[in-house]
Amino acid sequence: MPARILIIKLGSIGDVVHTLPAVASLKKAFPLAEIDWLVERKSSIILKNNPLLHQVIEVDTQRWRRSWIQPRVVREVLNQFWRLRERRYDLALDFQGLWKSAALGYFSGARQRIGLGKSWLREPGCRVLYSQTVAVPAESQHIIDINGALVRGLGAPIGEYRFDLRVPETDECYISSQLSAHQIKDFLILNPGGGWETKNWEPENFGQLHLRLRKATRLQSVLTWGPGEEPLVERVCQASQEDPPVVFSTNIPQFIALVRRARLFVGGDTGPLHLAAACQTPIVGIYGPTNPARNGPFDRADRVVFHSVPCGPCYKRTCRKYKKECLRLVTVDEVYEAVLQRLRDANKGAFS
């Protein structure tokens, strides 16, 4: 029975969300174990006040990489290694599958270091730093189930997905005040950003979609966005000048409070979509360079608009050669019909 367990999932908001069910299952299997999570500082907010975790350990590997020759950064890295070693972990689980994440597990001094097998790793060579690798069942397609393979062998099978997303009361009140100020009761969320430029459906398409949905459903649209995506929001508003969507800023906890109240979320493969899925909000996903079977919403009632192309899913952040053909094939008509159908399905569920 492990007494101390280290979870290593450094990456994006979506990466963290997709790992939460595995950690919940692990805690259920080992309720007395102290579980720590090693995560990038920019994504750590998702883990704040999580009742399953003993502590959240923040790192900033991007800054380390940019400034690795500076003595201050070297000291910070060494201090982090010592902090990890002092915990004397029995087990380290690397859900990231990169050299940097495997190295952090190795230098933590954990007696057992477990990662996925070669074909499931983004940087396969890093497996030399594991003491054990785990094969993923052939039927596992979604990333949540792939992550679950790491804990299944420890006697912690993934059952019902649990996410434990906590929102401070102040953030709940902020959303209530914003919705009241804009006189909004029923609404849907449009999220035009996608982190990578290749995931971004054209903002003008979101503008047209908003106008058509306003006429068909009378639901108001609330635009959400992440850091650096403000120009996309401006283009959506310019494309819908006759009746623009509602715009107000949110941080991550405020977004969670907002999406829990929304009738529907529309957007690409990005953190907000995965948070919406974790909150059980109905979703229409717009997918291009990534595989919706692996990275899409996991509720079977949710809809994904996706066109298979010979060059995809490519998981590339730039697309100079094909000019994002996978997303250019997605039409406003298709997304509009998917939204109407998902709203109808959700209404049926409310009365079943």
Question: What string of pLDDT tens digits covers the 352 residues of the chain?
Answer: 899 999 999 989 999 999 999 999 999 999 999 999 999 999 999 999 999 999 999 998 887 777 767 777 788 878 888 999 999 999 999 999 999 999 999 999 999 999 999 999 999 999 999 999 999 998 899 999 999 999 998 989 888 899 999 999 999 999 999 999 999 999 999 999 988 999 999 999 999 999 999 999 999 999 999 999 999 999 999 999 889 999 999 999 999 999 999 999 999 999 999 999 999 999 999 999 999 999 999 999 999 999 999 999 999 999 998 989 999 999 999 999 999 999 999 987 543 3
Contact 191, 222 (CB under 8 A): no
Q: How confident is the model at residue 63, as a pLDDT?
A: 76
Query: Global pTM?
Result: 0.94
Q: How confident is the model at residue 62, as a pLDDT?
A: 80
Q: How confident is the model at residue 350, as a pLDDT?
A: 47
**Sequence-separated (6 or more) residues with CB below 8 Å from residue 271:** 12, 13, 14, 17, 195, 226, 252
**319-336 burial: b if 16+ Cβ within 10 Å, else e:** beebebebbeebebebbb
Q: How confident is the model at residue 121, as a pLDDT?
A: 93
Q: How confident is the model at residue 349, as a pLDDT?
A: 52
Longest dimension (CA), the chain: 63
Q: How confident is the model at residue 351, as a pLDDT?
A: 33
Contact 336, 213 (CB under 8 A): yes
Neighbours of 304 (CB within 10 A): 16
Q: Which two tokens stand for residue 78?
A: 């060494």
